[in-house]
Amino acid sequence: MSSSDPRSEATRDAGAVPRHIAFIMDGNGRWAESRGLPRAAGHGQGAETLRAITRRAVERGVEEVTCYALSTENLLRRPPDEVDGLMELLRLYLARDRSEIDELGVQLRFIGRRHELPANVQADLETAERQSAGHNRMILRLAINYGSRSELVDAARAIAEACQRGELDPRDIDESHIAGHLYDPSMRDPDLLIRTAGEERISNFLLWQISYSELYFAPCAWPDFGPERLDEAIDAYCRRRRKYGGIVSPEVRSAPRDR
Ligand code: FPP
């Protein structure tokens, strides 16, 4: 495959690659501390990894990528300096990488309790979404001030309010109503969830949406999770058979592709 021809590569792999990959980008702090650097340096390097992974995901023909950039717990439990630094990094990332996002055709979306974020960050998120709304090669969704239980609570409240207004009968509530009230109702369920830095837990990320996702845990810290690591994870995914609770896989992936 020629790395200069991402479109033909994406076409060749179509049907094999996961359509939606979710990432828990863990280990920035440890990456920095192990090098005697401030934790902020780990987050900066993590943002570089996010750029490289976005590019590679587009090349591989992935349709959606959702990254856990900042959990609600991160915001509450980290020193204010670190949280402020992450907010600034996010704003810098959005401003600095605008042209790359345009060039790649990536549509940006944000999920989480964004109304609780500082006003300037909220404004930047809205601008980034508006400016990239016409892009259609891949959706890059960043979860910021996100917690999956909060998302489900917010959905339950919205559904209860609809019932209170007489628009919905509680007996008619089904899975589609829950899914339809999540932060991004158009999000398809992730096919693959990748967590870096050797931790094997979900940490309140997309609990509803990952019911049938394949899980992949990479030992390296997020800043070391380069494009070749993404390829390894995709290859591992392609070798798995998904069952969706049944006996026969609806999408049989019996043999690994040539990469
Ligand atoms: C977890 O590592 C990572 C985060 C809390 C932040 C993730 C942010 C990035 C990858 C940078 C890109 C983000 C933006 C906002 C564009 P950790 O600090 O918990 O690492 P540790 O577990 O080793 O301490």
pLDDT, tens digit, 9 for 90 and up, residues 77-127: 999 999 999 999 999 999 999 999 999 999 999 999 999 999 999 999 999
Q: What pLDDT was estimated at residue 243?
A: 73
- Cα(182)–Cα(122) distance, integer angstroms: 19
- Cα 168–173–175 angle (5° rounding)? 140
- Cα(56)–Cα(23) distance, integer angstroms: 14
| Residue 13 a catalytic site member | no
Closest residue by Cα to residue 141 from 67, 227, 228, 32? 67
Q: What pLDDT was estimated at residue 256?
A: 37
Closest residue by Cα to residue 106 from 94, 120, 115, 119? 94
pLDDT, tens digit, 9 for 90 and up, residues 229-241: 999 999 999 999 7
DSSP state of 190: P
- Cα(216)–Cα(254) distance, integer angstroms: 18
- Cα(94)–Cα(57) distance, integer angstroms: 18
Q: What stretch of H or E contains 121? A: helix 119-132
Most informative mutation of 39, 43, 98, 203 for ligand 1 (most atoms within 8 A of CB): 43
| Residue 145 a catalytic site member | no
CA–centroid distance, 69 to ligand 1, in Å, is 6
Question: Which residue has a Cα nearest atom 1 of ligand 1?
Answer: 26
CA–chain centroid gap for 178, Å, is: 20
Low-confidence ranges of the chain (pLDDT < 70): 1-15, 247-259
Is 223 touching ligand 1 by the criterion CB < 6 Å? no
Most informative mutation of 45, 89, 220, 222 for ligand 1 (most atoms within 8 A of CB): 222
